[in-house]
Amino acid sequence: MSEFFIQEQQLSNVTRTLVKDEDGKSLFLLVGRWGTRGDALSLYTMSGELVASIRQTSFAFGSRFELYKGFEKVGVLRKILNLNADFYYIQHMHWTVLGDIKNHRYSIYQVNHKVMAMSKATLFSGDYFSLDVTNDEDAPLCICVAAVLDYWLYNKKKKQDHKPIIGWGTC
């Protein structure tokens, strides 16, 4: 099991994001952008090797993202609406995301096996998201999934903050 750290305000931003270990050593670089169909985030090792990416394939209701390990498509992340909460499922990998997505305290499971646990951590250099990944081979895909969940959460908050006030300003 390894722990990975991403500075809190960087995960879903359109910027270069470093993923570090507990000693502060940079392990991965996440680059790309979101917003339209075909946009993608790519995760590279610090030596420049592409290890994973996630590509937005639809933008409307029920947005989908394809997950790639290297250049091979390995899954499709879907947001499936539920009456009480959002539910996330990654087809082909049989991963489900459960927990408190809004507060970044959730886990990814494959059947009964925990793949990753997300939480918040405060380190000397600031506030971070902490990803505890059971199998190091899954880390790149887990980082990509966390980026999408953060993107969805950020956009959901952004839309709620900009709701029009009905009835005001009418005569």
Rounded to whole angstroms, the Cα distance separating 122 from 129 reads 9
pLDDT (tens digit per residue) in 107-153: 999 988 999 999 998 877 778 899 999 999 999 999 999 988 887 77
Structure tokens at 90: 């990654």
Structure tokens at 17: 């994001």
Using DSSP's 3-state secondary structure scheme, residue 113 falls into strand
Q: How many domains is the chain built from?
A: 1
Does a structural domain hold residue 166?
no
Give the domain CATH number at 125.
2.40.160.200
What is the predicted pLDDT for the residue at 83? 60
Q: At residue 171, does pLDDT exceed 70?
A: no
Does a structural domain hold residue 170?
no
Query: Which of 168, 145, 165 minimizes the C-alpha distance to 79?
Result: 145
What is the predicted pLDDT for the residue at 13? 55
Does a structural domain hold residue 125?
yes
DSSP 8-class letter at 142: H
Does a structural domain hold residue 9?
yes
Q: At residue 34, does pLDDT exceed 60?
A: yes
Does a structural domain hold residue 168?
no
Rounded to whole angstroms, the Cα distance separating 165 from 157 reads 16
Q: What are phi and psi of 49, to 5 degrees?
A: -85, 130
DSSP 8-class letter at 156: H
What is the predicted pLDDT for the residue at 58? 72
Q: Model pTM?
A: 0.84
Higher pLDDT, 93 or 163: 93
pLDDT (tens digit per residue) in 58-117: 766 557 889 999 999 999 998 776 666 667 899 999 999 988 888 889 999 998 899 999
What is the predicted pLDDT for the residue at 113? 95
Query: Which of 64, 101, 72, 69 minimizes the C-alpha distance to 84?
Result: 101
Q: At residue 170, does pLDDT exceed 60?
A: no
Which domain does 137 fall in, by range? Answer: 2-161
Does a structural domain hold residue 169?
no
